[in-house]
C-alpha cells in the first residue's frame, strides 16, 4: 500500500492519519478537508468559544509543527466531490483527483436546517463566531431543538444575559435518548433559570422576526439558532457504489468496500457488543473510530479487530455535568441506582432486553459512573448489581 487518502480533517480524520504513521505506514498520506482550518475541536464551539472563555487557537487539536511532522499531503479548503471505486480515485471540488490504495471516509455531518433565511447553526468555527457576535445581555434568542447541542447553547446564552426561548417538538426533551424521567429533570434546569421552554411545538419556518410554528403563531426574537439534528455528509458518494443509509454503511471492522473504511459521525457500522447497527455523533467515538479504521486498513484480513466500543459522551449545562456510557436509545427500562433525580445528583442505569445497556450520571464525580462501563462492556445481566434507589 503506497497511497492512502483520508477524507475529513476533523477528529476522526486526524486520529486516522496519526495512527497510520504511528503504525509504520510511510507511504503518501493525503488528508482532505473542506474547511480551511487545521483540525480543531468541535465540542467547545457551543460552550467555551461561544462564551468567549477560549480564544480560537485553543481549539486546535494539534500544533502546526506536529502536523508537519506527519509528512501529509494536506488539502484543506477543498471538498471531496466524488468517489470512483473502480479506478480508486477521490475527486475534489477543485477539479483534481487523488488516487488511493487505501481510503478512510471521515466527512462527518452537517446541520439540518429549516425553511427561511437568517438562522444560525452550530457546526463550524465560523458558525460559533457569528452567533457569539450577536449575543449580548437583553438580546432575545430562540433555540429550536432542546437536544444536547441546543441545551448547551441555551445555557451559555442565558449565562451571557440573553433572553432565551427553547422550542422543542417532543413532549419531554431528550426522552427518546435518556428516558422521560431524566428528560424532565434536564428540562426543569432550564425553567429554574428563567429560560422559556416550550415543548410539543413544531417550528415550520424561520421568519424575519423569529420563527413560525405549525399553528401559525410567530414567536419573535432577535436571533434564531436551529439545533434540530444533523445529516451525514454522504452526498458526494452518490453513484460511487458504496451502500449509504443514514451514513456510510460498514461492517464490524468499519469496512465499507474493499480497502475503504469509514470513521466518525459519518460511519454507520455494526457494533458487535450490542448486536446492532449504530451511528454515533460523539467526540470520543470519532477519535477511537479513526484509530480503529486506520489499524484495520493496514492489517491483514485475519488480523483485523471488530470495533466494539462502549460509547461515551458528556454534556455541560449550567452547573450540571452530564456523563453517559453505552447505548441508551431504545432502552426498555431506566432505574436510578444512586442519588436522587430531584437533587440533580444521580446515576441512572438502563436496560435493553435482559442486559445493562447504558448508564448516565448528572452532577456526580466520574468515579460514580465508571464501574458501569465495565458492566456494559461485559454484557452484565440486568439483575447483577442493579440496585434501585427508592423514589
Q: Is 72 left (phi over 0), alpha (psi -120 to 50) or beta?
A: beta
**b/e sequence 29-67, b meaning 16+ C-beta within 10 Å:** bbbbbbbebbbbbbbbbbbbbbbeeeeeeebebeeeeeb
Read off the pLDDT of residues 273-299 as tens digits, 9 standing for 90 and up.
Answer: 999 999 999 999 999 999 999 999 999
The secondary structure of 211-231 as a DSSP string is: EEETTS-EEE-SEEEE-S-EE
Strands 89-92 and 80-84, sheet pairing: antiparallel
E strand or H helix that includes residue 271: strand 267-271
d(Cα 102, Cα 305) in Å, to the nearest integer? Answer: 17
- Give the separation between CA 88 and CA 175, rounded to whole angstroms: 43
Contact, 337 vs 349, CB < 8 A? Answer: yes
Q: What is the pLDDT of residue 389?
A: 55
Cα distances from 293 to residues 102, 184, 261, 286, in angstroms, run 11, 38, 6, 10
Q: Which of 95, 61, 55, 56 is nearest to 75 (CA)?
A: 95
As given in the structure block, the three cell numbers for residue 365 are 464525580
Gap between the Cα atoms of 291 and 22, Å rounded: 10
Q: What is the DSSP letter of 60?
A: B
CA separation for the pair 116, 7 (Å, rounded): 31
- Residue 387 has a pLDDT of 64
What is the predicted pLDDT for the residue at 384?
64
Identify the CA nearest to 263 among candidates 235, 231, 297.
297
Give the angle 295-296-300 at the CA atoms, nearest 5°. Answer: 110
Listed in sequence order, the DSSP H helices in the chain are 11-22, 64-68, 125-134, 148-159, 175-178, 180-192, 283-298, 366-377
CB 329 within 8 A of CB 177: yes
Cα angle 125, 154, 176 (rounded to 5 degrees) comes to 100
Measured distance CA(288)–CA(14) in Å, rounded: 11
Cell numbers 455523533 correspond to 281
Q: Domains of the chain by range and CATH?
A: 3-110+230-303 (3.50.50.60), 113-226 (3.50.50.60), 319-377 (3.30.390.30)
Under-50 pLDDT residues of the chain: 391
- Bridge-based pairing of strands 163-168 and 355-362 is unpaired
Backbone angles phi, psi at 155, to 5 degrees: -65, -40
Helices (H) and strands (E) in the chain, counts: 8, 26
Q: Rounding to the nearest 10 degrees, give the CA dihedral for residues 273, 276, 280, 282.
A: -20
Q: What is the per-residue pLDDT for 385? A: 60
332: left (phi over 0), alpha (psi -120 to 50) or beta: alpha
pLDDT, one tens digit per residue, over 116-170 is 999 999 999 999 999 999 999 999 999 999 999 999 999 999 999 999 999 999 9
Amino acid at each position: 500500500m503506497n497511497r492512502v487518502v483520508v477524507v475529513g480533517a476533523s477528529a476522526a480524520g486526524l486520529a486516522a492519519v496519526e495512527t497510520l504513521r504511528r503504525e509504520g505506514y510511510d507511504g503518501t498520506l493525503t488528508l482532505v478537508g473542506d474547511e480551511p482550518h487545521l483540525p480543531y475541536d468541535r465540542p467547545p464551539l457551543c460552550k467555551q468559544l461561544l462564551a468567549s472563555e477560549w480564544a480560537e487557537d485553543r481549539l486546535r487539536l494539534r500544533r502546526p509543527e506536529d502536523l508537519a511532522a506527519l509528512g501529509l499531503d494536506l488539502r484543506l479548503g477543498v471538498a471531496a466531490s466524488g468517489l470512483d471505486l473502480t479506478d480508486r480515485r477521490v475527486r475534489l471540488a477543485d477539479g483534481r483527483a487523488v488516487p488511493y490504495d487505501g481510503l478512510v471516509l471521515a466527512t462527518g455531518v452537517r446541520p439540518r436546517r429549516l425553511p427561511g433565511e437568517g438562522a444560525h447553526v452550530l457546526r463550524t468555527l465560523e458558525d460559533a463566531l457569528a452567533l457569539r457576535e450577536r449575543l449580548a445581555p437583553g438580546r432575545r434568542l430562540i433555540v429550536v431543538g432542546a437536544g444536547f447541542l441546543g441545551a448547551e447553547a441555551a445555557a451559555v446564552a442565558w449565562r451571557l444575559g440573553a433572553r432565551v426561548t427553547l422550542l422543542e417538538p417532543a413532549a419531554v426533551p431528550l426522552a427518546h435518548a435518556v428516558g422521560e424521567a431524566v428528560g424532565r429533570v434536564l428540562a426543569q434546569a432550564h425553567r429554574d433559570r428563567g429560560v422559556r421552554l416550550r415543548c410539543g411545538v413544531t417550528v415550520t419556518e424561520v421568519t424575519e422576526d423569529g420563527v413560525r410554528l405549525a399553528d401559525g403563531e410567530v414567536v419573535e426574537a432577535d436571533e434564531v439558532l436551529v439545533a434540530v439534528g444533523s445529516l451525514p455528509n454522504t452526498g458526494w458518494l452518490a453513484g460511487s457504489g458504496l451502500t449509504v443509509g443514514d451514513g456510510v454503511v460498514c461492517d464490524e471492522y468499519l469496512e465499507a468496500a474493499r480497502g475503504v473504511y469509514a470513521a466518525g459521525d459519518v460511519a454507520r457500522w455494526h457494533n458487535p457488543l450490542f448486536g446492532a447497527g449504530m451511528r454515533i455523533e460523539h467526540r470520543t467515538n470519532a477519535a477511537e473510530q479513526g484509530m480503529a479504521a486506520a489499524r484495520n486498513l493496514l492489517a491483514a484480513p485475519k488480523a483485523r479487530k471488530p470495533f466494539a466500543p462502549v460509547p461515551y459522551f458528556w454534556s455541560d449545562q449550567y452547573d450540571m455535568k452530564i456523563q453517559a456510557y453505552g447505548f441508551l436509545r431504545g432502552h426498555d427500562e431506566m432505574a436510578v441506582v444512586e442519588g436522587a433525580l430531584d437533587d440533580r445528583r444521580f446515576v441512572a442505569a438502563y436496560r435493553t432486553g435482559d442486559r445493562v445497556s447504558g448508564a448516565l450520571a448528572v452532577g456526580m464525580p466520574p468515579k460514580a459512573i465508571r464501574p458501569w462501563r465495565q458492566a456494559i462492556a461485559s454484557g452484565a445481566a440486568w439483575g447483577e448489581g442493579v440496585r434501585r434507589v427508592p423514589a
